[in-house]
Structure 1
Amino acid sequence: MAPEVMNSPELRIEVSIDRQTLALYRGDSLLRTWAVSTGARGNGSLPGSFRTPTGRFRISEKIGHGAPLRTAFRSRRAVGLWRDEDRGDGILSRILWLDGLDPENANTHSRYIYIHGTHQEHRLGQPASHGCIRMANADVIELFNLVPEGTPVTIHAPTIMQRKLIFFDCDSTLSTIEGIDELARAQGDAVFREVEALTNAAMNGEIPLAEVFPRRMAIIRPSKAVADQIAQLYVETLSPGIEGVITRLQAENWTVVILSGGFKPLIEPLAKRLAIEHVEAVPLHFDDEGNYAGYDADYPTTRNGGKPDIIRDWRASTHAAKVVMVGDGISDLESREACDFFIGYGGVVERKAVREGADHYIRKMSDFPFDKL
């Protein structure tokens, strides 16, 4: 059957983000359907977004002919078989590289969007990729053998609202510490007192975040060694009961996202401990010697209104059915307008405005209102 299919000019591929399937057609005849994973962060075409583009495409290149099942590719070159201990977004077995044919997805080739095999076959059927279209390794080899370069591909945008998103603040919510204060504490008592006062003023809504961020970082200027120490402290100071809350939410098919005005490299070890894949937090930079080299001053959570902007972006990209935010500060409460439900948390610091503005308020994670979600 393969030669007949390959010679057919009517061959086409259709990918459904709603159903997480890839279907191969010849004319109006359905030939095959396979389970896939599209972007965990939804659909979109911005570079660096890790989202799956939608619209019209074609297969521009086929890579990996004859390679053994589960061959790993880096920069589209075979580097041996994938090992279970390997890390990262495994691109395995075959690569079908896509070109975008619409103005909005014309950057698809330069974004390196592929149809490829994966080491996470157990997650097929749900959005889980970094923007590419993942398939089972045997399936992608079958598809590779059936289609020629130039085969048209359509990726259909979602139409069914089914994703459930829940965003958690990190500092004084997932963890009992304020990371910025701990960075300051490591620089001495005088620095700590000055930064703590600025942090509290920001969290209470007394000073705009956009003003507080550069003032604090000009004072602290943390090294990578200090940042690594605070990253470990985050892991050691998880809020009591939070592990059970996250586990249950994930079991109930909630996509959990950490949304923080803290620094991403400090928060990532905590995210890994809680098996949370998505961290929206401020990039922090160091030079080759580990000295402070600044932060991304344009990142949305460095300013007031940044958190709701990120939530709206996630909601639109994933076509989410329900969105929840959990946090302790004013910047979290600002997100109420972009959410369906806001849970205020006062287990570390209680702020009157957050308590009064929340749809539901808790002081213990064991009281998490699953029944209201």
Structure 2
Amino acid sequence: MTTSEAERAAMRRALELAVTPGVPLGPNPRVGCVLLAPDGTTIAEGFHRKAGGPHAEVVALAEAGEAARGATAVVTLEPCNHTGRTGPCSEALIAADVRRVVFAQPDINPVAIGGAGRLREAGIEVVGGEMADEARAINRTWTFAIAHRRPFVTWKFATTLDGRSAAADGTSRWVSSRAARLDTHRLRSLCDTMLVGTQTVEVDDPELTVRDELDEPVEFQPLRAVMGLRDLPADRRIFNDRAETIHLRTRDPEAALGQLFELDRQHVFLEGGPTLARAFLEAGLVDEVVAYVAPMLLGAGSSAVADLGIHTIADALHLHVTDVTVLQGHDGEDTNVRLTMSRPSRRS
């Protein structure tokens, strides 16, 4: 079954609605919906604003009222088929007497699947897969987390040209430029969890908040997670009231991610030290690497990752570079290069 040009245009609009500014990146997927009249004109639009709120289809149906009868619903995600904090979108579409549903990405959430089948049972025409890749892209980490039953992991670090994250005396300010630090806060804001180890909390005492250009905390703050078995002093800044904090009492990366997934967390920003980085790399649980490279040389000092047990170049962990961006300060001297890389291949 094919789609019309009007339906394809409506899907493009639905994708725009899904990424409306201010819509949270999780824990629910971002979804947009457009209702079309039989002549292809737009009747109503809707998007999902937040977890617990009405889904995109329900918003559009409410706006359309009786005009939804005989309409085509164009939606970026397969309508859900379960009752949670809201009712099933499949049943809402059936009750509104829509004639046809066109969706982009199939819903792989095991508690919500089956919407397309339920609609077909009710005699509604259903077409799936229209602009599915574009829909997956706007819900990249949600899709990954649902498919893998764990959060997507981005490992971020700053390094000099010769691979040092700190000098021999332990100092690391400032390997990353101000431009890079602002960019890091932007990336933090795209995640729902920031993760460090107990060693980092004890030694560096980070606050792990997202801050703006004036160094002020922003309204939305990701969960701060610290991983490790040892007790930590209550006066550490990570335990202040500027964001929620959880202590994961484990050294096992898989167990830590499992606990975070149970908390509906879908994107972990790994900012711990070299030991924690090694643990996640060796477990094959790093999905993306973001490195800020400073135009300086130290010749000695700490590396971003602890010894991986690699003794020959043939065993190296290879990364695929997906983006290279120069981050430059106003004076031209305060510069870093940001490299974004996809997950390393597993070592056998």
User: Do both proteins adopt the same fold according to a TM-score greater than 0.5, normalized to the shorter chain?
Assistant: no
Structure with greater helix percent:
1
What TM-score does the superposition give when structure 1 sets the normalisation length? 0.30
Higher strand share: 1
